[in-house]
Amino acid sequence: MITNLVNDDPVAEVARLREGVSQLRVSVDELMRAATTADKEYREVLEAYRMFAHSRGWLKRMEHSIESGLSAEAAVEKEQSEARARLQTVPDPYLRDRLHDLDDLANRLLRILTGQGRETGAKMPERPILVARTIGPAELLDYGRRLRGVVLEEGSIGSHAAIVARALAIPLVVQAERITTEALNGDQIIVDGTAGVVHLRPDESVATAFRDKIAMEAQAQARFAALRELPAQARCGATVSLHMNAGIMADLPSLKGSGAEGVGLFRTELQFLLRSTMPRRSDLAALYARVMEAAGGRRVAFRTLDIGSDKVMPYMRRPDEPNPAMGWRAIRVGLDRSGVMRMQLQALIRAAAGRPLTVMFPLVSEMAEFLAAREILMREIERERHLGHPLPETLEVGAMLETPSLAFAPANFFRAADFISIGGNDLKQFFFAADRENELVRRRYDTLTLSFLTFVQKIVARCAEAGTPLSFCGEDAGRPVDALALAGLGVRALSMRPASVGPVKDLIRRADLGEVAEIIATARRQGVENLRPRLLSYVDQLPRD
């Protein structure tokens, strides 16, 4: 607990803060050096973590608080509280997970400033399970492989801590409500990282069932690994392309290991949201070039900035909007503030440097928006040509279909787009009028409801008529049964988190998409509202290799 809230000497407090930050950076650098021979995945995580530690904007905000009269510790705590408040307003769970690193850095800096180490004198038990509200990647690395499991009240499976836990083969469960108040030191606990379930003080029957499940999971993982280099080809002969979602360099090592064919969605917001000033074009170009190099020639679809409403850059005036999710965001901001879009497109063109380039614009609601954005891109291509810079070998320009209105756009739109990517998360919330951040309604509606599947089938038909490639990106693409239904409707490309590629591929290879299509058609004729029970029954009857 911080007791000295104000300072008597701002100059001395700023110096003390800088010394603490310097020690913090040294500790992060030491972690980097210790990881030089370790798994590449969490080396990449530490590089991103190091970026936060060296953020000049972060330090300047704390220095400004000290100049206003706060002590160094109080300034750190103030910045930490404001960062947590910002976390609550960011709708994208991916970005929230990345911003948790700032919380972890603040905790480490506070320990340095207050002289409180991590050692409490308590003895580490055998096969320890760590229970906490949240944890950052560096703190998790401090524990290392001594831990047998981690249970957190906050966070998600896409967080940096989850990436590190996966790299260290430590089971991790997030969103375990009240676990820090319910669990006591010495309690027995079972952590099921695959299902995201925690059993606190389990009886023997639960423990026996869990041991049996571990044996079955080991067999399943071996099966997924064996499929890594094989296509997601169904028994009927149809093939579905499986891609992964990413947003930072730390995600790219998962590309090869997951068996994904490429990156179906690379989010570009993070580099803009975590800086106190607009990033330079050269910095963005260097980052995008590293992404392409890390992809090793595989296709990477770069989504232009999806900012606005709650995802507002610190250096950009935030409008007051009653309904931010349906407000001034994504392509609407890009077209109204075309200077930012032009700069990002220039960076992408220069990053390609003669390689193929794939760009897609988010939240397109009507054809005119897509044509205007594509025209800006083509003007930048021409500008780069006049400057003598190498142009992309090939150029794909696509749109994310996230609003129902775009499904009814003129046929010319579908012919004009090189590809369409259904943004499933946003499309569902607009289709069902259910805010995906509202716990009261977000689980109320099912992807496998006939009305939603019929709507997706309409999009499939319109793309097929125009000969335009179609993909589906979002959480549902990574759920095997949901992915199977989408493939049965005719969606032949899915983009998901890396860990989902194996299970989705396994199910598709065991299924017949013609049979899935017939199940959907029969349900439609019979007036069945939800297809999940029928598809689950079908999956249960499928043979296993």
Q: Which are the catalytic amino acids?
A: 160, 473
Cβ(384)–Cβ(346) below 8 Å: yes
Per-position DSSP letters for 123-169, written without gaps between them? PPPSS-EEEES---HHHHHHHGGG-SEEEESS--TTSHHHHHHHHTT
Cβ(157)–Cβ(497) below 8 Å: yes
155: exposed, middle or buried (Cβ count in 10 Å: 0-12, 13-18, 19+): buried
- Of 1, 2, 20, the C-alpha closest to 71 is 2
Rounded CA gap, 20 and 72, in Å? 9
9: exposed, middle or buried (Cβ count in 10 Å: 0-12, 13-18, 19+): exposed
Rounded CA gap, 524 and 530, in Å? 10
Rounded CA gap, 59 and 513, in Å? 55
- Of 396, 437, 390, 403, the C-alpha closest to 418 is 396
C-alpha 220: how far from chain center: 25
485: exposed, middle or buried (Cβ count in 10 Å: 0-12, 13-18, 19+): buried
Tell me, what DSSP letter sits at residue 449? B
Cβ(285)–Cβ(351) below 8 Å: yes
Tokens, residue 460 = 């499939």
SS3 of residue 425 by DSSP: helix
Question: What is the enclosing helix (H) or strand (E) of 100?
Answer: helix 93-114
SS3 of residue 114 by DSSP: helix
SS3 of residue 504 by DSSP: helix
Rounded CA gap, 21 and 105, in Å? 10
What number of helices (H) and strands (E) belong to the chain? Answer: 22, 14
- Of 307, 393, 303, 387, the C-alpha closest to 345 is 303
Integer-rounded Cα radius of gyration of the chain: 25
Cβ(103)–Cβ(130) below 8 Å: no
Rounded CA gap, 471 and 422, in Å? 6
Tell me, what DSSP letter sits at residue 300? E
Rounded CA gap, 530 and 519, in Å? 12
Which residues, 6 or more positions from 254, have their beta carbon under 8 angstroms from its beta carbon?
41, 244, 246, 260, 498, 499
